[in-house]
Amino acid sequence: MKKLADIITVMIFLMLCLPASIHAVGIPAEPGLQFYVFSQEEYNDNINLTPTNKKASFITTVSPGLKYNKTGAKSGVDLEYSLGFVHYEKDSSNNNIRQNGTLNLKYLTKEHINFYLKESFVQSDEQRELEPLSTAADNKYVLSISQERAVYWRNIIEPTIEYQFGPENRVGFTYRNNTYSTTSTLGENSQENYVNLFFDYWLNKRNGIHLDYGNTIGTFQISPGMNAQKLNARYTNRFSRKSSIFGEYALTKRSFGISSIGYDIHEPSVGITHAFSSTLNMSAQIGYFGKNPTSGSNTGGLSYKASITNLDTRTTYIFTLQGGYTEDFFTSENLGFNLYHRLTGSLTHFLGKRTSIGFTGSVERAELAQGREDWMWGVAGVLSHRPLKWLTIALVCSHKTRDSNVDGYGFDENRGMIKITATY
């Protein structure tokens, strides 16, 4: 507990002293087509995330990109793509190309049949990646960390079709293909095919039900294949214009190519949501999870989630709390089920129209297979200024640490960078 208190104390101190997040999540994308190019110079004192024999390097990135946004009541397109050329000063074998692309489409028909499409593509040599379909402002990363610097590719495509038969009543179908590939000799390629059926129905203005069923087929280069089902049911009561409470039950069943490693998870929970204003809202959920494996002893405990989000145009912040367990599949390490606790935060504040400061921070604890326990924490800061309408300069610094009771998994890393972006 003393370690946790020390980490949280340092995090709070650095959060108050450091600035960090370049983009304000509360500001919508500008309409139309924009082109940009950025140049970034970074110093990293531990590019391979090793506990000893650290290797430092200056890293130069030049990246052109484009954005396109056109959103209306019945249709919308939000597209961004960038191509980065990365040069390492100390070791040219690490030179690589990075790509980032996102696409969000919607089309609502007069027959109330609605179509949506999400796609995300990443090519990078970063050793820890953001959770799929999340943003930098969310500050949520997968549990797996690659044990070597290697290029990976991830492509996610997720179409949805639904029939809307009331203001909030709908029935629909979502498909997701999530493909991960890596050049790492220690990681493994994987593919997820996921199908989800969902149903939302409001009995009246105050009481509603949500049902959904998901099926996942997972294939892995090394690990046994997976077939999983998840059933989720939720009842919601809006007891005021701004607040609601809900009860939820989720059942997850996972089976693998090796039958002895399968398991079920039962998780009942209750929660509350509240909107303080049009930009500030919170949610909290608490429950109990019970994991029943095909072989071995049962595992259970408290599960919880909480978040508070403010998205006004001058100050934006997101703080989240998660605890109980997590499942880490389709990642570099494919760590599976783990007991897990995480606190994350991000904040951006505009001092004026052209200058912003902010921070991101996180602290995590994971109990993994074979008795391994990891503590991870990190902070980052940014000072961003736009001296001209088309020019932005950002100064960034960050630190992250992983302590592990297993030799070879701990590390410390410090980064500092300057990023110059021209937009036209």
Q: What is the pLDDT of residues 175-185, one digit of tens each?
A: 999 999 999 99
Query: Could you tell me the two tokens for 243?
Result: 């607040």
**DSSP structure string for 288-345:** EEEEEESSS--EEEEEEEEEEEEE-SSEEEEEEEEEEEEEE-SSSS--EEEEEEEEEE
Examine the pLDDT at 3 and tell me if it is beyond 50.
no
Q: How confident is the model at residue 30 (pLDDT cuts 50, 70, 90)?
A: confident
Written as six digits, the tokens of 186 are 């220690």
pLDDT 10s digits, 234-283:
999 999 999 999 999 999 999 999 988 999 999 999 999 999 999 999 99
**pLDDT tens-digit profile of 152-175?**
999 999 999 999 999 999 999 999
Is the pLDDT confidence value at 41 over 70? yes
CA neighbours closer than 13 Å in the CB half-sphere of residue 77: 8
Give the Cα separation of 101 and 330 in Å (integer): 19
Q: What is the DSSP letter of 2?
A: H
Does position 418 have pLDDT exceeding 90, yes or no?
yes
Mean pLDDT of the chain: 92
Lowest mean pLDDT among 4-13, 54-63, 298-307, 346-355: 4-13
pLDDT digits (tens, 9 = 90+) for 348-362: 999 999 999 999 999
Among residues 413, 359, 330, the alpha carbon closest in space to that of 143 is found at 330
Position 118 scores a pLDDT of 97
**For the chain, what percent of residues have pLDDT higher than 90?**
86
pLDDT for 10: 41
- pLDDT above 70 for 21: no
What is the per-residue DSSP string for 398-416?
Answer: EEEEEEESSTT--EEEEEE
pLDDT digits (tens, 9 = 90+) for 62-78: 999 999 999 998 999 99
* Statement: residue 340 has pLDDT above 80: yes
- Other Cβ atoms less than 10 A from the Cβ of 298: the count is 10
CB 44 within 8 A of CB 84: no
Give the mean model confidence (pLDDT) for residues 316-329: 96
Question: For 261, which DSSP code?
Answer: G
- Residue 115 and residue 121: Cα distance in Å, rounded? 20
Q: How many CA atoms lie within 13 A of 62 on its CB side?
A: 1
pLDDT for res 29: 60
Identify which of 192, 194, 202, 145 has the alpha carbon closest to the alpha carbon of residue 171.
202
pLDDT average, residue stretch 377-391: 96
Asked whether residue 8 carries a pLDDT value surpassing 60, the answer given is no
Distance CA 188, CA 183 (A): 9
Q: What is the pLDDT of residues 113-160, one digit of tens each?
A: 999 999 999 999 999 999 988 988 889 999 999 988 999 999 999 999
- Sketch out the chain's domains with CATH numbers: 2-423 (2.40.170)
Scanning the structure block, which residue is given the tokens 């994991």?
291
